[in-house]
Amino acid sequence: MPRKRSRTSQLYRPARLSNKRRAASRGPGTYAKRVVRRKTYGKSMRSVRACCQPGRHVRHAALATSILKPCDG
């Protein structure tokens, strides 16, 4: 039996697909930028999540500490 999807998941999926189609319709450069942006965002969030959760192994410790280092300014 498949897992039940949340209402939020059901609403965001069509919006994601619409944005994907719109970027693709604007040309390969726009679509490529979107792909890179989403991949970068996912990787940065993954390292923050891994660092912030106790008991989780941080694979890229240098990256995680640079993200969480307080700003000097």
The string of pLDDT tens digits covering residues 12-60 is: 999 989 989 999 999 999 999 999 988 888 878 777 776 666 555 555 5
Please name the residue ranges forming H helices in 2-53: 7-25, 28-52
What six digits make up the tokens of 68? 């969480």
In a domain, 26, yes or no: yes
Q: Tell me how many domains the chain contains.
A: 1
Q: Among all chains, which residue has been given the structure tokens 């941080």?
A: 58
Residue 54, by phi and psi: left (phi above 0), alpha (psi -120 to 50) or beta? beta
In a domain, 30, yes or no: yes
- Range of 60's domain? 7-68
In a domain, 1, yes or no: no
Q: What is the pTM of this model?
A: 0.47
